[in-house]
Chain A
Amino acid sequence: MTTNILIAGVGGQGLVLTTRVIGTVAFSSGFDVKTSDVIGLSQRGGMIWGSVRFGSDVHSPLIPMGQGDFLLGLEELEALRWVALMKPASTVVLSQETIFPNRVLIEKEPYPTDIPSTLAAAGLRVVSVDARSVAQRLGNLRLANTVLLGVLSTYLPFPAATWLQVLEDNVPKHTVELNHAAFQAGASVA
């Protein structure tokens, strides 16, 4: 039995670190793990995504179509892009963050309205989080992903202590306390 998490966002949002943290937590909790990140050209504001798969014996680092259990959307439009990858009734932890893609900036296409409702209409369970506001209250917008990890953690079978340890190992030393606070804030939002 493999659990599949897809992380979707925009280049520059810190997705690689987010993927690494989830993967390391799963691994430290005793699971076999495969992760994947799209790195390269897309880092320049393009669409990026990562995957974490954990279970007893994981082969592919990529999630087959229709097999996603959890979708962590760092940005609304990017979450919407992956609907077909998800299982029916799977869970989306969605940041209330919108970043206009180029086609929208140059007014060639509109940014979709009310993405959470569209996701819900597609049969997904949407947990919409104002991660940016929580991060802002803590004093640093870059903590938004850690807030989201806190929310996601409530759906996953890993102890909170493991999350906190892995965060400590992976974020800059002077931000450990803030990241822990952001994680706890996320965990209590859910």
Chain B
Amino acid sequence: MTKYLSKQLSDRDPHYKEAKILRERVLLTGNQAIARGFWEAGGVVASSYPGSPTVEIMESLMDYAEINAQWAMNEKVALEIAIGGSFAGARSLASMKHVGINIAADPFMTFTQIRTNGGFVLVVGDDPGLSSSQNEQDSRFFAQFANCALLEPSNAQEAKDYVGVGLKISEEYGMPVILRLTSTLCHSRGVVELKERTAPAEASFVPDQARYCMLPPYANAQQYFMRERVIKLASEAASLDLDIYEDTGRRDALLITSGLPYQYLKELETGLSIYKLGLCYPLPIAKLKELAAAYSRVIIIEELMPFIEVQLLAAGMAVGGKEYFSFTGELTTDRIKEGLEKAGLLAQEAAAATSAPAVVKRSPMLCAGCPHRPVFHILQKAKALVVGDIGCYSLGILEPFEVLKTNLSMGASLGIIQGMAMAHQTANKVQPLVSVIGDGTFFHSGLSGFADIAKTKHNITVIVLDNRTTAMTGGQPTPTTGELGTQTHTVSIADVLKSFGITDVTVADQFDYSSTKTVILGAMKREGLSLVIVTRPCALNFRIKEPHFYVDREVCISCRACIGVNCPPISMQVYEGQSKKNSYINPEMCVGCSVCSQVCPVKAIKRSVARGEE
């Protein structure tokens, strides 16, 4: 057993961050390790937009006093903040989830042409298996697309170390470096050895238009520069000493892998030789060709798309991979075993008789007291055609509401609803259209959509669900958080929209069910753009807890109207001494929003204590 004799500190203990103790070993998540690695490497400027699985990177970075770290309004701005830091000579980092890189792609694809000044690392969290994402894109392709290096750590220690390696590559080769994580790596803890911080170099921006102004003719020359730096890095990759070659002496197959699949593979103890890549773009092709010559077969084990495999095939190597391993989901130990059996490299085990019982699914649902609930209930009853957007309110897709009919990407509802209205107009179809968008998404990428839709003549109702926070990712502040958080200044969404020339703007309190219903139905009747802003804050994030409600079962007629609002504390139960079911509200879970009591037709749902009397 490996003994770690040094003093152990928990990852929440602020003392470990001071790193006064050399060679300290702690348990860190992949995300925390990234933050620590940036701190150790003398990182100065960092920015991010919250998105699972990388949220915790920024939260951890903010704990380090020496790092200038802040949330940005979206991933493009986050990237641009880090670019500015790098231009001015500071080691800089931007972190985001995989789809965030799409938002940031515009500045990134041009920034990559510039010979990097301060080391620049873009940390991206992919989500194989889509545990909390709208797509499963393999972001490794961005490295090839952008002619830059891509590092892929396989555990928390490597996640920490690769930040420093990435910054060094970035400065030596003049390129941004992508550090690619996956959900499980971000959220899993492993033992990490800590080091002291390297003092950052004093630097500031040195004007050099040929370097920093990307227009012809300056940008033309950079095409050659990008090509050359990638070729140079590929030829020198071995000197980085990142790869691990485990030669077991067996020559029937060489397994080439990277990232977490390496750890899953190790678990199997196959006895086969393994080559684990740390740098996945550019690949050390010459080295791999030389090694491969000694083996009968070369099999690539990689999650999602055949990124490594296709590069090796293009280099003329005879390799296999995706015919044995899935192109979607995580490649866990069990799935790698299955693939190796299919490839004939592991003896097929008799499938264990897994008689696992079918267990009722548990989908996520809106929290008790969620301010989105009455809005979805009203829209469901109105049989409205609703275009969705990204946030907690995406849960309006699920049963029993099933209100949102489309869900695509941040802020997309505003363009989509216009396009639908245009198509309907041409087809002579008359139907009011509704979309919903939260405050986080409003500022992330809704503003340009609103400026665009402001003068529409179509019957469009947009409901802004202003719950004053980016709720889905854990409650990061938005410009409307204001006094509910630590800021005093609050941006008014109504004022912003009015300044766009939108005149039909109504602010409503959605916990007043009937008046909100009147407002929404009225808006749906009016031609042109109608804006409804509902203003109740997120019950979870702001820990809202009012006296709970209860069901007076003498009054309850078991109509299930309250079940229809779909709140976690409300279920149908057989009370003692009764035969039929009545509704029941779990008093510990109820936060007293009152919506169920307002939809009850017989007033059977009552507040336990009147407000102000508790």
Q: Are B364 and A28 in contact (CB under 8 A)?
A: no
**Which residues of B372-409 have CB atoms within 8 Å of chain A's CB atoms?**
392, 395, 398-400
Q: Are A33 and B360 in contact (CB under 8 A)?
A: no
User: Does B333 interact with chain A (Cβ within 8 Å)?
Assistant: yes
Q: Are B356 and A141 in contact (CB under 8 A)?
A: no
> B337-368: contact bitstring with A at CB < 8 Å (1 yes, 0 no)?
00000000000000010101101111111110
Set of chain B residues within 8 Å of A56, measured between Cβ atoms: 1-2
Give how many A residues have a beta carbon under 8 Å from the other chain's beta carbons. 62
Q: Are A59 and B264 in contact (CB under 8 A)?
A: yes
Contact flag A102-B264 (CB < 8 Å), given A23-B189, A46-B363: no
Closest to B337 in A: A64
Q: Are B571 and A83 in contact (CB under 8 A)?
A: no
How far is the CB of B443 from the nearest CB of chain A, in Å?
21
User: Does B184 interact with chain A (Cβ within 8 Å)?
Assistant: yes
Q: Are B189 and A47 in contact (CB under 8 A)?
A: no
Q: Are A40 and B357 in contact (CB under 8 A)?
A: no
User: Does B221 interact with chain A (Cβ within 8 Å)?
Assistant: no
Contact flag A60-B362 (CB < 8 Å), given A42-B132, A102-B566, A106-B563: no
User: Does A114 interact with chain B (Cβ within 8 Å)?
Assistant: no
Contact flag A35-B2 (CB < 8 Å), given A41-B131, A47-B362, A64-B333: no
User: Does B572 interact with chain A (Cβ within 8 Å)?
Assistant: yes
Closest to A57 in B: B2
User: Does A62 interact with chain B (Cβ within 8 Å)?
Assistant: yes
Closest to A52 in B: B189
How far is the CB of B260 from the nearest CB of chain A, in Å?
8
Segment among B4-12, B461-469, B518-526 that sits at the interface with chain A: B4-12
Set of chain B residues within 8 Å of A112, measured between Cβ atoms: 359-360
How far is the CB of B310 from the nearest CB of chain A, in Å?
26
Q: Are B570 and A42 in contact (CB under 8 A)?
A: no
> A124-160: contact bitstring with B at CB < 8 Å (1 yes, 0 no)?
0000000000000000010000000000000000000
User: Does B263 interact with chain A (Cβ within 8 Å)?
Assistant: yes
Set of chain A residues within 8 Å of B361, measured between Cβ atoms: 47, 101, 103
Q: Are A33 and B190 in contact (CB under 8 A)?
A: yes
Distance A20 CA – B354 CA, assembled complex (angstroms):
30
Partner of B190, one of A34, A39, A44, A102: A34
Set of chain A residues within 8 Å of B27, measured between Cβ atoms: 23-24, 27, 33, 35
Partner of A84, one of B8, B356, B366: B356
Distance A108 CA – B563 CA, assembled complex (angstroms):
12
User: Does A169 interact with chain B (Cβ within 8 Å)?
Assistant: yes
Distance A12 CA – B474 CA, assembled complex (angstroms):
12
Contact flag A27-B367 (CB < 8 Å), given A41-B131, A83-B357: no
User: Does B506 interact with chain A (Cβ within 8 Å)?
Assistant: no
Distance A173 CA – B334 CA, assembled complex (angstroms):
42
Q: Are B360 and A103 in contact (CB under 8 A)?
A: yes
Partner of A111, one of B52, B360, B563, B568: B360
How far is the CB of B268 from the nearest CB of chain A, in Å?
9
Q: Are A27 and B2 in contact (CB under 8 A)?
A: no
Q: Are A45 and B184 in contact (CB under 8 A)?
A: no
Partner of A62, one of B132, B264, B365: B264
> B263-307: contact bitstring with A at CB < 8 Å (1 yes, 0 no)?
110110000000000000000000000000000000000000000
Distance A110 CA – B573 CA, assembled complex (angstroms):
12
How far is the CB of B333 from the nearest CB of chain A, in Å?
4
Q: Are A106 and B264 in contact (CB under 8 A)?
A: no
Distance A100 CA – B367 CA, assembled complex (angstroms):
13
User: Does B489 interact with chain A (Cβ within 8 Å)?
Assistant: no
Q: Are B13 and A169 in contact (CB under 8 A)?
A: yes
User: Does A65 interact with chain B (Cβ within 8 Å)?
Assistant: yes
User: Does A170 interact with chain B (Cβ within 8 Å)?
Assistant: yes
Distance A81 CA – B27 CA, assembled complex (angstroms):
28
Closest to B568 in A: A45
Distance A169 CA – B12 CA, assembled complex (angstroms):
8
Q: Are A106 and B566 in contact (CB under 8 A)?
A: yes
Q: Are A32 and B264 in contact (CB under 8 A)?
A: no
Distance A37 CA – B183 CA, assembled complex (angstroms):
10
Contact flag A36-B184 (CB < 8 Å), given A46-B364, A80-B359, A170-B12: yes
How far is the CB of B134 from the nearest CB of chain A, in Å?
10
How far is the CB of A10 from the nearest CB of chain B, in Å?
7
Q: Are B333 and A60 in contact (CB under 8 A)?
A: yes
> A61-75: contact bitstring with B at CB < 8 Å (1 yes, 0 no)?
110111000000000
Q: Are A84 and B360 in contact (CB under 8 A)?
A: no
User: Does A186 interact with chain B (Cβ within 8 Å)?
Assistant: no
> B99-124: contact bitstring with A at CB < 8 Å (1 yes, 0 no)?
00000000000000000000000000
Q: Are A62 and B570 in contact (CB under 8 A)?
A: no
How far is the CB of B266 from the nearest CB of chain A, in Å?
4
How far is the CB of A106 from the nearest CB of chain B, in Å?
5
Distance A7 CA – B9 CA, assembled complex (angstroms):
23
Set of chain A residues within 8 Å of B334, measured between Cβ atoms: 64-65
**Which residues of A3-19 have CB atoms within 8 Å of chain B's CB atoms?**
10-12
Q: Are B184 and A64 in contact (CB under 8 A)?
A: no
Set of chain B residues within 8 Å of A100, measured between Cβ atoms: 568, 571
Partner of A24, one of B10, B263, B395, B570: B10
How far is the CB of A59 from the nearest CB of chain B, in Å?
4
Contact flag A20-B188 (CB < 8 Å), given A57-B2, A77-B359, A106-B566: no
User: Does B472 interact with chain A (Cβ within 8 Å)?
Assistant: yes
User: Does A184 interact with chain B (Cβ within 8 Å)?
Assistant: no
Set of chain A residues within 8 Å of B211, measured between Cβ atoms: none
Distance A110 CA – B1 CA, assembled complex (angstroms):
47
Partner-B contacts on A (CB < 8 A): 10-12, 20, 23-24, 27-28, 30-47, 55-57, 59-62, 64-66, 77-78, 80-81, 83-84, 99-112, 118, 122, 141, 166, 169-170
The 9 closest A-B pairs by CB, nearest first: A40-B132, A61-B188, A46-B364, A41-B132, A40-B52, A101-B362, A84-B356, A44-B364, A36-B188
User: Apart from A20-B10, A59-B263, what are 18 other A-B pairs with CB-CB below 8 Å?
Assistant: A36-B187, A39-B52, A41-B472, A42-B364, A44-B392, A45-B365, A46-B362, A47-B361, A59-B266, A60-B264, A60-B333, A61-B263, A62-B264, A78-B362, A80-B357, A102-B362, A122-B357, A169-B13
